[in-house]
Chain A
Amino acid sequence: MSLRDLPGARERRVRTGGIELCVAELGDEERPTVVLVHGYPDSKEVWTEVAKQLADQWHVVLYDVRGHGRSTAPMPLRGGFTLEKLTDDFLAVADAVSPDRPVHLVGHDWGSVQAWEFATVKRTEGRIASFTSMSGPSLDHFGHWIKQRMARPTPRRVGQLLGQGAKSWYVYMLHTPVLPELAWRGPLGKRWPRMLERLEKVPAGDYPTSSLPDDAAHGAWLYRDNVRARLSRPRTDAYAHVPVQLITPTGDIFLSEKLYDQLELWAPQLVRRTLDGKHWVPRTRPDQLASWISEFVAANEAAEEDGRPMQDTAPTGAYADRFGGRLVLVTGAAGGIGRATAFAFAEAGARVVAVDRDAEGAARTAEMARLIGAPAAWGEEVDVSDEQAMEKLAEKVAAEYGIVDVLVNNAGIGLSGSFLDTTSEDWKNVLDVNLWGVIHGCRFFGRQMAERGQGGHIVNTASAAAYQPSRALPAYSTSKAAVLMLSECLRAELADRSIGVSAICPGIVNTNITATTHFAGADAAEEKRLRKRTSRLYGLRNYPPERVADAILKAVVRNQAVVPVTPEARGARFLSRFSPGALRGIARLKPPL
């Protein structure tokens, strides 16, 4: 669907400095205005999905930058694309669409580069309420960044310079005369949509628009008119006079994350966000962008009404930039590793769905999660081994809370005892929860993630027992080995859809699992004694579930495949690869129970 097909989209033309800008508006004009500025080589249609979602709450304005889309190009082109002129354009649009109120600015790529200029020059003061930047640094900040690194070239700084220098190859190309224009109007313009699909995973459809060759040819002057001038003589007063939200995609092949080191010095009111995605996030991650933009705009509007600067509402936990506002579902969340994981995500500002067959425990987890930073949290009573219940849960979550961004299949039960003592009923119980629970979770929630097509992550709690054989845990180990292999296969399959899959192998962790473990072949009294004894041993080991939770967050951020957590789990993992015979020897030892 293109912008013009959107219901309620209104178009107008704004004249300024000898050119005409094509401006589109969506949503209620009485609401605060959000202006979206596109990058290079794009047109305002890059924002279609984001704009559609923002229009429910805000007055959304998009315009084609001069020389792009259906705006006219300045004549002559040389000297017509300076940041000063682009600022004139922005002010003209802002005055036309929101004469009395400052606007909220959002920029991507070159849209963000120009928006940094708008947000840092004197003459726009009072016209901008907030600025959300993605994948486009201020050229002035960039200039200072280079100068600092050239002035004191430590090995690390040289590395950063070379790294960004290599990522900027296209900037040098665009400075050659005529050739870029020829390429864009020729083969490159034809192949570009396919390249975006393949390299950037931009969904196929009616984007980029047919104006692409002209946009790209004109837009080359954005670089030629500004880059050399600003990088060699960066402004020294480029301080942002508005609150800034910086959204950094982790897989951006054009911009290094290091560019934004010490950005707080230039933008005192800075909120950082990190997104797993490539450069074209407005196309590949529109849901998350729309929700972060909305949240930021709403916070600044509220602060404006209260007449005080925006409070730092951002959560402070580790990875808050990454998980703020995202939806996380954890099974087995009424205790142990599941509960600690729910809390760790809550501390990072995620919205949490705590699932457990213990309804009271799940509700309790949700309640505490809200107290430590989760903007919202819910407890759900579901037995993960119940296929229908899981399917219903998936439907309910999708309808009421949204599509899950991170799924943690953690629910599991323990079963100990020799193989010959283990009944088929025992086998069924442990496989139902430990393996089928994970399968159901991955099937229902994984499918939703894949269908949304905006990435995500699945974490499955396996165990060190998945690769450490043992005569004491045949059934449990089998179920966990299956989870480990399932995770590996799923990881291979879902990689194409930017969904990561991690298997966590905790090892001996002090949780309640020992108190509910079934010991096959033991009578009630003996089972009670064994439970007490193992709980005591696990208590003596005393590895806290909170550290497993930290490992889970890290695994999601780094997209790790298999994560052994405790030292014994790491040791066993090492042996399983280099000396499996030793593990087999250990497997024959009787545990001291």
Chain B
Amino acid sequence: MNSAVKDENAPELRGFREVQSLAYACAEAVAGGLKPGMTEREAARMQRDWLRERGVRDWFHLPFAWFGDRTAFAGFKVPLQFFPTNRKLEPGMPFILDLAPVYKGFTADIGYSGCLGLNPLHDKLLADLEAHRELILREVRERRSLREIYENVERLMIKQGYANRHRAYPFGVIAHKVDRVAERRWSPQVFGFGTQSIKGLMSDALHGHRDGWSPLWSPYSFSDHPPQPGLWAVEPHLGFRGTGAKFEEILVVTDSKDPEQSAFWLDDDLPHVRRWAEERVAA
């Protein structure tokens, strides 16, 4: 299924917005319920249960939760380390919830960073993510190559004093395409990823390979092409000495000639965006 979107008012986008805000509502609800001593597994289960109760039956990937220095992927060598562990949450610890539900055939993939109690360093990381959200949107509108944008994001991170931690993701991606998926009665997961979504991604990869683009936005030469129209789940991830922070949300890229409509964030009413606005007001 391919959703060709013309502009912000395209009817398909309503479904994506709905599932994205549902996912963020889940993240906020679960984050609010986290207590010292809870484990990553418990946090992941809470997200799963919360969304199942609200009608989610399929996943792009099952919810992840990372606590403490695992938010910066400290010492990650193999992909299995991404899965939730029995790491316990402690006061002042940063955490990240990463969930990707499929609801009524629409996919969301979001990341939510928070911390239990006060942590000025974590606040700083979160605040510094704003520049990345602006940079990505600006350069996508300028139709720069995805690889170049990736490198510019990384340069900004280094300038800020941080390490690029999205490089730890499979293929080092900062983003990947998401799409509508067929609703099946039985949709199993393989290594935490929904088979329907993987199928979509693989078919994109196949088509893209023929046409010279890739559904994975990576630092490698296969991403050396202008942004491909569609929906991209963008997830810049900062790491700083055992503390990590990210956001993840959907960027819509269209083939419109109008720069404003050629790329835009699916929804601006998200916790991290509201937080930056509040900080600006407070300042």
Interface residues of A (CB under 8 A from B): 335, 339, 343, 347, 361, 364-365, 368, 371-372, 512, 546
CB-defined contacts of A347 to chain B, threshold 8 Å: 241
> What residues of chain B lie closer than 8 Å to A371, measured between beta carbons?
120-121, 124
Q: Are A343 and B241 in contact (CB under 8 A)?
A: yes
Q: How far is the CA of A512 from the CA of B240 in the complex (A)?
A: 17
Shortest beta-carbon distance from A373 to chain B in Å: 10
Interface string of B138-173 (1 = CB under 8 A from A): 000000000000000000001111000000000000
A368–B240 contact, CB under 8 A? yes
**Do B161 and A364 have beta carbons less than 8 Å apart?**
yes
Chain A residue nearest in CB terms to B240: A368
Q: How close is B242's CB to chain A, nearest CB, in angstroms?
A: 9
Bound Cα distance A347, B120 (Å): 15
Taking CB as reference atom, which chain A residue is nearest B122?
A371
- Which B residues touch A364, using CB under 8 A? 159-161
Q: Which 3 A-B pairs have the closest CB atoms?
A: A371-B121, A368-B161, A371-B120
B158 and A372 within 8 A (CB): no
For chain B, residues 163 to 206, give those with C-beta under 8 angstroms from any C-beta of chain A: none
Question: Chain A nearest CB: distance from B8 CB in Å?
Answer: 36
Chain B residues numbered 106-125 whose CB sits less than 8 Å from any CB in chain A: 120-121, 124
Contacts A368-B124, A371-B121 known; 5 new A-B pairs at CB < 8 A: A335-B158, A339-B161, A343-B241, A368-B240, A546-B241
How many angstroms from the CA of A347 to the CA of B69 in the assembled complex? 15
CB distance from B119 to the nearest CB of A (A): 9
Q: Is the interface of A mostly helix, strand, loop or mixed?
A: helix
* Size bin of chain B's contact surface: under 10
Q: Chain A contacts of B161 at CB under 8 A? A: 339, 343, 364-365, 368
Tell me if B159 and A372 are in contact (CB < 8 A). Answer: no
| CB neighbours of B124 from chain A (8 A) | 368, 371
Q: How far is the CB of A527 from chain B (nearest CB, A)?
A: 18
Interfacial chain B residues near A361, Cβ < 8 Å: 159
Give the chain A neighbours of B120 by CB distance below 8 A: 371
Give the dominant DSSP class at B's interface: helix
- A539 to B, closest residue via Cβ: B219
* A2 vs chain B, min Cβ distance (A): 47
Please give the distance in Å from B249's CB to the nearest CB on chain A.
26
CA distance A497 to B158 in the complex (A): 39
B121 CB contacts on chain A under 8 angstroms: 371-372
Nearest B residue (CB) for A336: B158
B241 touches A372 (CB 8 A): yes
The complex places the Cα of A365 from the Cα of B162 at a distance, in Å, of 11
A372 to B125 Cα, complex, angstroms: 12
- How distant is A375 from chain B, measured CB to nearest CB, in Å? 14
Q: Is A512's CB under 8 angstroms from B241's CB?
A: no
Instruction: Looking at the assembled complex, report how far the CB atom of B250 sits from the nearest CB atom of chain A, in whole angstroms.
Output: 29
Set of chain A residues within 8 Å of B240, measured between Cβ atoms: 368, 372
How far, in whole Å, are A371 and B127 apart by their CA atoms in the complex? 14
* A/B interface sample: 14 pairs, CB < 8 A: A335-B158, A335-B159, A343-B241, A361-B159, A364-B160, A365-B161, A368-B161, A368-B240, A371-B121, A371-B124, A372-B121, A372-B240, A372-B241, A546-B241
Please report which residues of chain B, range 75-105, place their CB below 8 angstroms from some CB of chain A when the two chains form the complex. Answer: none
Among A335, A361, A368, which residue has the most Cβ atoms of chain B within 10 A? A368
Q: Give the residue name and chain of the A residue nearest to B119 (CB).
A: A371
B88 CB, nearest partner CB in chain A, Å: 18
Residues B193-247 near A (CB distance < 8 A): 240-241
Contacts of A343 in B (CB 8 A): 161, 241
Q: List B contacts of A368 (CB < 8 A).
A: 124, 161, 240
In the complex, what's the smallest C-beta–C-beta distance from B217 to chain A, in angstroms?
18
Closest to A532 in B: B151
For B241, list chain A residues within 8 Å (CB): 343, 347, 372, 546
Closest CB-CB distance, B152 to chain A, in whole Å? 13
The residue of chain B having its C-beta at the shortest distance from the C-beta of A360 within the complex is B159
A128 to B160, CA, bound (A): 47
Considering the complex, give the chain B residue whose CB is closest to the CB of A346: B241
Report chain B residues within 8 Å CB of A335: 158-159
CA of A546 to CA of B162, assembled, Å: 12
In the complex, residue of chain A having the shortest beta-carbon distance to the beta carbon of B121: A371
Q: In the complex, what's the smallest C-beta–C-beta distance from A340 to chain B, in angstroms? A: 9
B76 to chain A, nearest CB (A): 14
Which B residues are CB-close (under 8 A) to A372? 121, 240-241
Residue of B121, B158, B240, B241 most packed against chain A (CB within 10 A)? B241
State A365–B240 Cα separation when bound (angstroms).
12
Nearest B residue to A535 by beta-carbon distance? Answer: B151
- CB-CB under 8 A from B159, the residues of chain A are 335, 361, 364
Name the distance in Å between A355's Cβ and chain B's nearest Cβ. Answer: 16
Residues of A within 8 A of B160 (CB): 364
A35 → B minimal CB distance (Å): 36
Give CA–CA (A496, B5) in the complex, Å.
75
Q: Quote the shortest CB–CB distance from B90 to chain A (angstroms).
A: 13
Which residue in chain A gives the minimum CB-CB distance to B243?
A372
Bound together, the chains give a CA A385 to CA B241 distance in angstroms of 31
Q: How distant is the Cα of A415 from the Cα of B137 in the complex, in angstroms? A: 36
Q: How far is the CA of A98 from the CA of B237 in the complex (A)?
A: 56
Q: In chain B, what residue has the closest Cβ to A546?
A: B241
Chain B residues in 8 Å Cβ range of A365: 161
The CA-CA distance from A189 to B196 in the complex, in Å, is: 90
What are the residues of chain B within 8 A of A546 when measuring CB–CB?
241
User: Which of A339, A361, A372, A546 has the largest count of B CB atoms less than 10 A from its CB?
Assistant: A372
Q: Tell me the smallest distance from the CB of A393 to a CB of chain B, in Å.
A: 22
Instruction: State how many angstroms separate the Cβ of B240 from the closest Cβ of chain A.
Output: 7
- A368 CB, nearest partner CB in chain B, Å: 5
Expressed in whole angstroms, the minimum distance between the Cβ of A367 and any Cβ of chain B is 8
- Nearest Cβ on chain B to A87's Cβ, whole angstroms: 40
A233–B240 alpha-carbon span in the complex (Å): 52
In the complex, A347 Cα to B243 Cα: how many Å?
13
Q: When chains A and B are docked, how far (Å) is the Cα of A368 from the Cα of B160? A: 9
* Docked complex Cα distance between A546 and B120 (Å): 22
Taken together as a complex, chains A and B put the C-alpha atoms of A538 and B120 apart, in Å, by: 33
How far does the alpha carbon of A335 sit from the alpha carbon of B160 in the complex, in Å? 9
Q: By CB atoms of chain A within 10 A, which of B158, B159, B161 has the most?
A: B161
Tell me, rounded to whole Å, the shortest Cβ–Cβ distance linking B71 to chain A. 15
Q: How far is the CB of A194 from chain B (nearest CB, A)?
A: 49
Q: Complex formed: what's the CA distance from A368 to B158 in Å?
A: 13
**Complex Cα gap A372–B120 (Å):** 9
Q: Kindly state the separation between the CA atoms of A417 and B166 in the bound complex, as whole angstroms.
A: 35
Closest-CB distance, A532 to chain B (whole angstroms): 10
How far is the CB of B270 from the nearest CB of chain A, in Å?
A: 25
Please, how many angstroms separate the alpha-carbon atoms of A354 and B262 in the complex?
43
Most B CB within 10 A of own CB, among A343, A371, A546: A371
Q: Name which residue of chain A comes closest to B124, CB basis.
A: A371
Min C-beta distance of B91 to chain A, whole Å? 12
CB of B67 to closest CB in A, whole Å: 17
